[in-house]
Structure 1
Amino acid sequence: MLNILLIPIFLLLGIGLQQIKSLPGHTAKYLNLYLIYVVLPALALKYLPSVELKPELAFPVATAWISFAFSWLIFGFLGAQFNWNKSITGCLIITSGLANTSFVGFPIVSALYGEEAVKIALLIDQAGSFIIVSSVAVIVASIYSSGKKRKRDISKKILTFPPFIFFMVAIIMNLSGIHTPEILKSVLDFVAMTLTPVALTAVGLQVNINLNAIMSKYLWFGLTYKLLFIPLVILLLFKHIFQLEGMLFKVSVIETAMAPMITGSIIAISHNLEPKLASLLVGIGIPLSFLTIGLWYYILG
């Protein structure tokens, strides 16, 4: 529960730091680089080598892929149909297509369903959201960012993207039965603890909430998709088509209903895909998601 309380605290801290004129202008950028080059690789080494893979867990893991696929399909179609700027389309696909399944998802799932549910949430995050943000999201960002990108340039971005490199290392360790050395675990634990405060502070630093921003139709397109539409799709699909039930079903829906992923917004921002919109989707989406998650929790019973 402490992690849940830290969420609004660090968001407000980042927003408050905007008022300090002496703060370096690129502080948020440096924090984002720290997340990409240090924190995300550390999370891969911390969790993935020891994750037990089971066939039945494929359903909750699939939620992240389904969410991103629908996001690409829907916003890609709308962008082409209504002649949106490519940067807007790319921003909505990436930021709205990825759920905040880790530092927001983990504490909420733990509070609602207990520690056993966290194991399911971890796989959704690591085998779903984490892989997507490390690979497919980079492809989308490269496609929709300005300038022509050759296929080999996109492939190079993926293969040299630090989280993806460490993800592959961690998967190889898992399949080979190699565990993270004990000497590294305390370091990885410490680095992992910095995810919430650093990420949320970085988002807060980039949030510029004003009437025009809140009234943006693109903001509400993205949030409606992320907080209401795609959780409903997963609920109907898993309940009536796949007939999933119990903890696997509930965690799948709740994790899908999480606010947009901060890392996804970082990918969008780093590729200059509407940075303000990407920040707002997270900055507005996280506090708003507390209300909508309560709604989904009530519906799931």
Structure 2
Amino acid sequence: MLQILSIPAFLLFGILLQNIQNLPSNLPKILNNYLIYIVLPALALKYLPIVDLQMELALPIASAWISFGLSWLLFGTLGKYLNWTNSLTGCLIITAGLANTSFVGIPIVRAIYGEEAVKIALLIDQGGSFILVSSFAVIVASIYSVGKKRKRDITKKILTFPPFIFFILAITMNLSNIKTPEFLALPLDWIALSLTPVALTSVGLQVKINWQAIRNPFLWAGLGYKLLFIPLVILLLFKYLFQLEGLLLQVSVIEAAMAPMITGSIIAISHDLEPKLASLLVGVGIPLSFLTIAAWYWILA
């Protein structure tokens, strides 16, 4: 119970910190860098070498790919037939298609399902969400952005990203039956404990809600897809078609139900894809997702 209560508590703490005038403006960036360069690699070394890799684990990873693929298909089609601007279509594809499976997702999964579930959540995040945001999200942003399309060295970006490097290292250790050295156990435990307070404080610092823009119908189209539609698709598909059950099913659905990814919104903003809407989808989506995730947790119980 204490772990669950800590989630909104640290989120609220981050929001309240926005009112401190002398707070460094780059504090969210500092916290995010700590999470990306220290915490996520540490989690990979802590959990992934001891994961019992099975074919069933391919399905949870696939949930992230299904979410993004359906988002591209749905909003791409609607944008074409309803004459949406390219910037609006691209914004919805990216922000609604990518879930916050790491900074918000892993702390929530750990709080409600325990340490064993973190291993599955990490696979979903690194094998699904991270690769998608580093590759296909950039491709979509380039397609729908105005002006000259930018060429990116996507492969280099993926291969040089620390969490992905440690993801590959940890999986290689797993396949080679190499365990993480004992002397690293305690440091990795302490780093892992910092995930929830740091991640949710960082999210709280970045939550910006424009109350006048709440009536935007495209905001609710994106959040409706992200918080309600795609978790339902994953639940029905995995449970009744693929006969998945237990922790694998629960974590897959809960991670699919996470709010839009902050990094995805940053990509949309940097390509001038409806920046205000992209920010709003994250700012409204994260607090609202705590209610919808509670509902999905009750459904899955």
* CA distance in 2 between partners of 1:28 and 1:274 (Å): 22
CA shift in 2, pair 1:20/1:298, >3 Å: closer
Q: Which 5+ residue runs of structure 2 have no aligned equivalent?
A: none
Question: 1:246: how far off?
Answer: 4.9
Letter paired with 1:150: K
Structural mapping, 1:125-274, within 5 Å: 125-143=121-139, 144=141, 148-150=149-151, 153-261=153-261, 264=264
| Maintained 8 Å contact 1:97/1:226 | yes
| Maintained 8 Å contact 2:104/2:200 | no
Structural mapping, 1:90-105, within 5 Å: 90-101=90-101, 105=105
TM-score between the two structures when normalised by the length of structure 2: 0.81
* CA distance in 1 between partners of 2:202 and 2:110 (Å): 25
Letter paired with 1:132: G
- Percent same amino acid among aligned pairs? 66
| Maintained 8 Å contact 2:105/2:255 | yes
Letter paired with 1:40: L
1:296 corresponding residue in structure 2: 296
CA shift in 2, pair 1:274/1:182, >3 Å: farther
Question: 1:211: how far off?
Answer: 1.5
Question: 1:280: how far off?
Answer: 4.0
CA shift in 2, pair 1:76/1:31, >3 Å: farther
Question: 1:284: how far off?
Answer: 2.9
Worse-matched range after superposition: 242-251 or 221-230 = 242-251
CA RMSD of aligned residues (A): 3.1
* CA distance in 2 between partners of 1:270 and 1:178 (Å): 41
* CA distance in 2 between partners of 1:158 and 1:11 (Å): 29
CA shift in 2, pair 1:86/1:48, >3 Å: farther
Question: 1:292: how far off?
Answer: 2.2
* CA distance in 1 between partners of 2:182 and 2:275 (Å): 39
What per-residue deviation string (whole Å, max 9, x for no partner) do you get for residues 92-136 of structure 1?
Answer: 444433344456556655676x55xx53x3344222222223322
The number of aligned residues is 296
Q: Secondary structure at the match of 1:199?
A: helix
| Maintained 8 Å contact 2:103/2:199 | no
Letter paired with 1:149: R
CA shift in 2, pair 1:26/1:104, >3 Å: closer
What per-residue deviation string (whole Å, max 9, x for no partner) do you get for residues 220-276 of structure 1?
Answer: 222111111012112222343334445544443344333334565566667776665
Question: 1:169: how far off?
Answer: 1.2
* CA distance in 1 between partners of 2:160 and 2:178 (Å): 23
* CA distance in 2 between partners of 1:189 and 1:264 (Å): 29
2:7 corresponding residue in structure 1: 7
Q: Secondary structure at the match of 1:135?
A: helix
Worse-matched range after superposition: 260-269 or 165-174 = 260-269
TM-score between the two structures when normalised by the length of structure 1: 0.81
Structural mapping, 1:265-284, within 5 Å: 277-284=277-284
Letter paired with 2:288: L
Worse-matched range after superposition: 100-109 or 193-202 = 100-109
